[in-house]
Structure 1
Amino acid sequence: MSTSFNYKHLYYFWVVAKEGGISRAAEKLDMAVQTVSAQVRELERSLGYALLKPAGRGLVLTAAGQAALQQADQIFQLGEDLPTKVRDAVSTPAVRLAVGICDGLPKLVVHRLLLPVIAEPNLRLLCHEGGLDDLLGDLALHRLDIVLADRPAPANPNLKLYSHALGSTTIAWYGTAALVAEAGSNFPDCLATMPLLLPMAHTPLRERLDLWFEQRALRPRVVGEFADSALLKTFGASGMGIFPAAQWAHDDLLAHYAVQRLGPCEGVTEHFFAIGTEKKVQHPLVQRLLQPALQAA
């Protein structure tokens, strides 16, 4: 490949543009002002367009200069990345897994779901949290390998997605020792008078909890609603209120938070799904995530 300009000249121009003037660029490059100016003029000559023009006491980019700067930014950014790319190419390759995590999915459950792959040598795990719709969009664009959610993917004629059941867990009520003691033995009727922390409205778990309250003619005293399950548990552990949590993560919950189990939320179950773009999963780590569910089936 031949070029009509010198990349060294382009680099000097790039520094001039970044520094806002030839004098500052010369100081940064530890070169004479005349040398830097001559290099930029050589670039302009080879391209056939003026890249800089006088403006007051300084210089500004012309339209051609702005276009040249945009290209130079990309060129020299690639150059800065080159040593890392080369080092990564000759080192032990990482096994990459990009996982989307639906907000509201219990973080302790997420950790448990990912346990089958965490011990993978040279694993590079990328976790992205967000709303289900946004995550599914990233999945369709192949920015994610899999999405973990508390519900299957909704029907969408524009997206070909497959939901794989990972399992389910019952729910129980937890709180600090003081709140559990205050609740006494009158469970679950005590939940009508105790302060409660709940997931946000219209989430799958919240809808099941609302139905659970309705079936028992309980009117809960909700003092906090949270989109993030870890935040809900943090406030629950501070004593703000009684809160629901997956019994699947009971041991981890007690180990990480200073709380106790008040009682079961009978009949309420939380389900977990892995959503992907393939009916027959190809990614080896995703296959490993699905294996426990496949064996149970």
Structure 2
Amino acid sequence: MINYKQLYYFWQVAKLGGITRAAEQLHLTPQTLSGQIGELERTLGTPLFIRTGRRMELSAAGQLALPHAEQIFMLGNELEALLHNPGRQGELTLRVGLTDAVPKSIAYRLLAPALQLSQPVRLLCQEEKPEKLFAELALHHLDLVISDRPLPATVGVKGYSHRLGCSPLIWVGTPTLAERARHDFPHSLRELPLLLPGANAAQSAPLARWLQEQKLATHVVGEFDDSALMKSFGEAGVGLFPVPEVILEEVCRHYGVEPAGRLDEIQVSYYAISLERRLTHPAVLAVSQTAHQLLSGKAETTNASTTGSPADP
């Protein structure tokens, strides 16, 4: 029978990336921790780590065992929390990763339906680079990742990209810039400064191609990985910038900008990426089933501006 304390030690070493770091966290000596994992490997009859000098990498058996160990100890944590707070019985947990290219206001719109279920939902969100989130998803640390691009084949994670919907881009700017841009758009942009999302955004490459075709690339004055920072520069009148139409009203109200021209040639898509081919988590289903209407602006949901939406549209 598996010794669950030894399994916990294995989980910690795998999660923290080495014996020394895990030993410090667990207040054990590295020798004791190494011996306990060795005992577990002998019980299981297979090595869980491949040791190369001081480095420890998961073996094939370790990679197979890790997600199961993760589920075991997550269930243990949920049981402990439930016993300490019986009033939360029946609560669903939805663990979501948001890539940093997804505007917070869009993330709010997509996730809000999960909180409107009759069953209580506890939402746990983290924002990170896509590669980090896909790794967390593979380890079952997340239920889904919301991204502006599908799961790349190169990341080595077996998952499924569920397209939630899309939205065209709208160029916006201060009233003065927007008025100048609306005259003979898009040719008018040749004389105006432009701000663009950084290379991490899915629309970055299509926008670059469009600017080249329109001979507008010479007027790009800034590129931003942080969409909120790009909007702040736009608010200050530094340049026109593109936003998805789904959040146009919020951006205009929050940053004091106006629409300058519609860019139907480029559609920004959003995806829910999960390990399931068929979505089954009730909260994830709620997100998926209402996303198309939300992104098309047809959903009959509470206006984000009256329910505490993020300050960064």
Q: TM-score range by the shorter chain?
A: 0.5 to 0.7
Deviation at residue 217 of structure 1 after TM alignment: 2.6
Say if 2:112 is the partner of 1:155.
no
* Residue deviations 1:3-62 (CA, integer Å, cap 9, x gap): xxxxxxxxxxxxxxxxxxxxxxxxxxxxxxxxxxxxxxxxxxxxxxxxxxxxxxxxxxxx
SS of 1:166's equivalent in the other structure is strand
Deviation at residue 87 of structure 1 after TM alignment: 6.7
**Aligned to 1:118, which of 115, 118, 130?**
115
1:144 alignment partner in structure 2: 142
Deviation at residue 295 of structure 1 after TM alignment: 9.2
- Provide the alpha-carbon RMSD of the alignment: 2.7
> Contact between 1:174 and 1:263, CA under 8 Å: does it hold in 2?
yes
* Residue correspondence of structure 1 range 67-216 to structure 2 within 5 A: 70=27, 85=81, 88-93=84-89, 94-120=91-117, 122-156=120-154, 158-183=156-181, 185-201=183-199, 203-216=201-214
Say if 2:245 is the partner of 1:288.
no
1:52 alignment partner in structure 2: none
> Contact between 2:110 and 2:291, CA under 8 Å: does it hold in 1?
no
Instruction: Quote the sequence identity (%).
Output: 37
> Contact between 2:101 and 2:200, CA under 8 Å: does it hold in 1?
no
1:162 to 1:156, Cα distance in 2 relative to 1, 3 A: same
Deviation at residue 207 of structure 1 after TM alignment: 0.7
1:224 alignment partner in structure 2: 222
**Aligned to 1:268, which of 263, 266, 272?**
266
Deviation at residue 252 of structure 1 after TM alignment: 2.1
> Contact between 2:200 and 2:225, CA under 8 Å: does it hold in 1?
no
Distance 2:268 2:108 in 1: 16
Deviation at residue 229 of structure 1 after TM alignment: 1.7
1:157 to 1:107, Cα distance in 2 relative to 1, 3 A: closer
1:255 to 1:119, Cα distance in 2 relative to 1, 3 A: farther
1:29 alignment partner in structure 2: none
* Residue deviations 1:263-297 (CA, integer Å, cap 9, x gap): 1113111111100001122211011111136899x
> Contact between 2:98 and 2:128, CA under 8 Å: does it hold in 1?
yes
Distance 2:286 2:107 in 1: 15
1:184 to 1:253, Cα distance in 2 relative to 1, 3 A: closer
Larger CA deviation: 232-241 vs 182-191: 182-191
Structure 1 unpaired stretches of 5+: 1-65, 72-80
1:38 alignment partner in structure 2: none
SS of 1:204's equivalent in the other structure is coil
Structure 2 unpaired stretches of 5+: 1-22, 29-76, 295-313
Deviation at residue 92 of structure 1 after TM alignment: 2.2
1:295 to 1:260, Cα distance in 2 relative to 1, 3 A: closer
> Contact between 2:190 and 2:215, CA under 8 Å: does it hold in 1?
no
Deviation at residue 183 of structure 1 after TM alignment: 3.5
Distance 1:196 1:88 in 2: 54
1:143 to 1:70, Cα distance in 2 relative to 1, 3 A: same
1:248 to 1:127, Cα distance in 2 relative to 1, 3 A: same
Deviation at residue 202 of structure 1 after TM alignment: 5.8
Distance 2:292 2:168 in 1: 20
Larger CA deviation: 233-242 vs 205-214: 233-242
SS of 2:85's equivalent in the other structure is helix
* Residue deviations 1:217-264 (CA, integer Å, cap 9, x gap): 323412221112222222212222100000012222223221100011
Higher-Rg structure is 1
1:253 alignment partner in structure 2: 251
SS of 1:214's equivalent in the other structure is helix
Larger CA deviation: 173-182 vs 274-283: 173-182
Distance 2:157 2:216 in 1: 40
1:278 to 1:181, Cα distance in 2 relative to 1, 3 A: same
Q: Which amino acid aligns with 1:206?
A: S
Distance 2:82 2:184 in 1: 66
SS of 1:180's equivalent in the other structure is helix
1:103 to 1:87, Cα distance in 2 relative to 1, 3 A: same
1:74 alignment partner in structure 2: none
